[in-house]
Amino acid sequence: MQRRLSKKLLFEDTVPETVDYVAGVDVAYLKDSSVGAVAVLDFSTLSPVEFQVAQVKTCFPYVPTLLSFREIPPAYSAIRMLHIKPDVFLVDGQGFAHPYGLGFASHLGLILDKPTVGVAKSLLCGKVEQVGESGRVTPLKDKGEVIGAEVVTKQGTKPVYVSVGHKVSLKRATEIVMECTGKYRLPEPIRRAHIIASEEKRRLEKSIL
């Protein structure tokens, strides 16, 4: 199923030349439920303009190559509540750089029919031939095919792995990630979404006690 859906991905730029709003997407887990969080930021200032969270029952088991089936329900539920429409979504997870060519970012992009970019903290497949320096973008290849890029966003930290989600080129995807990165390793929209998801998780855990 994932390989079939992967064939529907678009690797062409549909992101507007001038981006107004960029969103970050992340998911946190409780014992039996999941919290999806989306943070929308002004692209030019990286100031937050809207946050949404949603809690849903977790209905899919943890399988490393099938995470999208587990993460899309809470993420989509949060995104549906947005009043502002982002031009592009940065997703904490894999895009095309996935064993089946369809990670969380790509699967979500197909469902939303919006530009998405996968930003992962670790590799599921492929390899990088050389280690980049701060600000360096190094191709990530699998069997000779470029499937993404290793991006060193901050000197002295581990790189992130950027890949096309849907409706964006790899070049534009890496440019957007770099423009959204400030003092931290992760791009600011994803960092904000992670904070919101974690805070909501803690709040829900306390309410159970």
Whether 148 and 140 have beta carbons less than 8 Å apart is answered as yes
Domains and CATH numbers, the chain: 2-126+165-201 (3.30.2170.10)
According to DSSP, the β-strands at 88-92 and 48-57 are unpaired
Whether 75 and 29 have beta carbons less than 8 Å apart is answered as no
Residues 120-157 pLDDT 10s: 999 989 998 765 555 588 999 999 899 999 999 988 88
Mean pLDDT lowest among 86-90, 95-99, 167-171: 95-99
Residue holding tokens 């306390």? 206
pLDDT band, very low/low/confident/very high, at 64 (cuts 50, 70, 90): confident
Q: What is the mean pLDDT of residues 64-72?
A: 84
Burial of 29 (0-12, 13-18, 19+ CB in 10 A): middle
